[in-house]
Chains A and B, each alone.
Chain A
Amino acid sequence: MNSLLPWCSLLLPLVSAIAITLFTLRSRALSSFISIGAVLGSFVCSCLIFTRQGISAREFNWIDFVGVFRVPFGFVLDNLSKTMLVLVSGVGSLIHIYSLGYMRDDEGKSRYFAALSLFMFAMLGIVLSNNFVMLFIFWELVGFTSYVLIGHWFERDAAADAAKKAFITTRIGDFGFMLGILMVWAATGSVVFAEIAPRLSILTSHPAFLTTAALLIFCGAVGKSAQFPLHVWLPDAMEGPTPVSALIHAATMVAAGVYMLVRVGFIIQASQAALLVIAWIGTITAMLAALIATQQNDIKRILAYSTLSQLGYMVMAVGLASNEAAMFHLFTHAFFKALLFLAAGSVIVMLHHEQNIWKMGGLSRNLPITFLTFGAGALALIGCPPFSGFFSKDAILAVAYERNMPIFVVGLLTAFLTAFYVIRLFVVVFFGKARSEIARKSNESPAVMTGPLIALAFLATLGGFAFFARNFLVLPVEKNIALFVPALAIIALVLGSGLAITLYHNRKSERFDIELFRRLFYFNEFYSWLINWTQEFLARISAFCDRWIIDAGVVRGTSGGTWGIGALLRLVQGGNLQAYLFLFGLGIVTLIYFAVFH
């Protein structure tokens, strides 16, 4: 059944972005309503697509060198993409509405909403792409809009630097992604997912080639989903407005890497070696980020590291060849992480952009709705039983238990740390005494901000139950270990939370000072050293070239050569007329000699 719905869903945000940029930049209120209208329209289309079976959309050939290279502009509409479509446009809608409150007095509101619309277009494009080239283009577009939105407050140096860092770091991964796409195309002759799948045997007959291609494609996800060792950009991206952090850097864009891995899972799962690398990268990221998060003091940064950690879980699940578990966690994570960020944003706005958790405290009385919704998000994040995170994290841990014991152990340890740092954050921000004047005087956010919070809190609570999630996803089936793994997870959870409550209840400042975690494992120092060293090295090479080849060789060589030849020729200019004549005659004789006798 052909339908225009996918086109509407994809193009509405683009139309909004263009309309705002061209016509309504001056009128900030109108811009925000156009943008919200577009994303709501997109959400309605997505829901309609979701409810219809066997829907398809007209596609056209975008690039067509017959027989050599064909790129269609077409959509893939299976359960996976339909779920993502609803998720992205749904969370996107809530965050657009929330932005109305958060960005109320911002000078660049029109610009902000235009970029947000463009982001929605790009993100929906990634979800709908049915081939690698289209996916890659939308992928880059998402990276660009992320850059624009992180740098929204570009007059602040930190924001401008963070935007650059995010863009450049993800570009490193994208370069690998591009090489991976080229390798797959070179081997199978196609970039369309549906055409690659039947030709996979060409790849599987060359295991080394396949593993390299799979790992290069994974590089794209490493950049975009901020996995170790390219994770450094995500915490810095928190310089952007909080709704952006919620939408792009927690719920959707960073999950695009996982979505892409699941989409091309049929290639990756053909290589055991690649799977193992992916699983371990995910595990390391999860652990590393959780360790760092225990020593952070900025509310958004703690959430950023928890995002890293949860993305690590998802990648771990992909690496354990369980796409269902990865998607399930992506699905629940999108709700509770968007919720946590928006609740954090509510706290930040009400405290006049104070982000240090040690300046907060006792906010449960002043911001009751924010408190309750944040609590729901936090419990979902640590995987407390009735909340959604419990089911999805449990699914991943169960898969790990079944397939790879060391990863399971690290995963469990990470779950313990997650409970520890999230409860630490929760206790410090919402309980105890207010530690500053603004925290004491704060009050609840407007309805336009609390509305989305409540909606997301419901989704974060219910998202994991089978009766709800089964409508969207293929839930991973659990076997007879169903009781054992959750029990361990709950023990880890109780231990972590208990430890955090005893250590941080009624504290006025940090108890520990673990330099290694506080300084983020020295990744930033290492990278700046590496970049300095590379730059220095390249500068030395180019200085050598400039000094000895360009200056000494080309410039001075030419001038010196001309001068020398001039000095020689000067000797001939004796001023004797008859000598000239003699040479002239000699020349003519020579010419005649050569002309006649040769």
Chain B
Amino acid sequence: MVTLGDYLIVSGILFVVGFAGVMLRRNLIIILMSLELMLNAANLSLVAFSRFRVQPTGLPDYNAQVFVFFIITVAAAEVAVGLAIIVALYRARQTTDVNDIKSLRF
């Protein structure tokens, strides 16, 4: 039997993997992907909560699922904007390495 805890563990692993990717990778595209991973980890835990919080009527709590749809929408928009920025950056700098993008530094 799969319990809520199992879902949360998977979700946590996904989040940590995503966070590690954001922290450690140098390529902006990978960082963006890792960010998506972290968002989906959050989505997973929300869906799991929805599934395991059964109402007296026998139906799950749909509030959390509505939340997830919102997050997916916002994430899609974010990816669109983020990728556009990266493309623009690449055209200007011919690189997507964060170590090379330091012109705002003192």
Residues of A within 8 A of B (CB): 570, 573-578, 581-582, 585
Residues of B within 8 A of A (CB): 19, 22-24, 98-99, 101-102, 104-106
Q: Are B98 and A573 in contact (CB under 8 A)?
A: no
Q: Could you list 6 examples of A-B contacts with CB < 8 Å?
A: A575-B104, A576-B98, A576-B99, A577-B98, A578-B24, A578-B98
Q: Are B22 and A575 in contact (CB under 8 A)?
A: no
Q: Are B23 and A575 in contact (CB under 8 A)?
A: no
CA distance in complex: A578, B31 (Å): 10
Q: Are B23 and A577 in contact (CB under 8 A)?
A: no
Chain A hits for B104, CB < 8 A: 573, 575
CA distance in complex: A101, B98 (Å): 101
A-B contact count (CB 8 A): 22
The dominant DSSP class at the B interface is helix
Chain B hits for A573, CB < 8 A: 104-106
Q: How far is the CB of B40 from chain A (nearest CB, A)?
A: 18
- Closest B residue to A582 by CB, please name it: B23
Query: What 8 A-B pairs are tightest by C-beta distance, nearest first?
Result: A575-B105, A575-B102, A577-B98, A573-B106, A570-B106, A578-B23, A573-B105, A581-B22
Q: Are B22 and A578 in contact (CB under 8 A)?
A: yes
Known: A575-B102, A575-B104; 6 extra A-B contacts, CB below 8 A, are A570-B106, A575-B106, A576-B98, A578-B98, A581-B22, A582-B23
Chain B hits for A582, CB < 8 A: 23
CA distance in complex: A578, B102 (Å): 12
- Closest B residue to A566 by CB, please name it: B106
Q: How far is the CB of B85 from chain A (nearest CB, A)?
A: 13
- Closest B residue to A572 by CB, please name it: B106
Question: Which of A573, A574, A581 has the largest count of B CB atoms less than 10 A from its CB?
Answer: A581
Q: How far is the CB of B97 from chain A (nearest CB, A)?
A: 10
- Closest B residue to A569 by CB, please name it: B106
Chain B hits for A576, CB < 8 A: 98-99, 102
CA distance in complex: A585, B38 (Å): 13
- Closest A residue to B98 by CB, please name it: A577
CA distance in complex: A570, B104 (Å): 12
Q: Are A581 and B106 in contact (CB under 8 A)?
A: no
- Closest B residue to A575 by CB, please name it: B105
CA distance in complex: A141, B39 (Å): 85
- Closest A residue to B99 by CB, please name it: A576
- Closest A residue to B22 by CB, please name it: A581
CA distance in complex: A573, B106 (Å): 7
CA distance in complex: A582, B98 (Å): 14
Chain B hits for A577, CB < 8 A: 98, 101
Chain A hits for B24, CB < 8 A: 578
Q: How far is the CB of B73 from chain A (nearest CB, A)?
A: 23
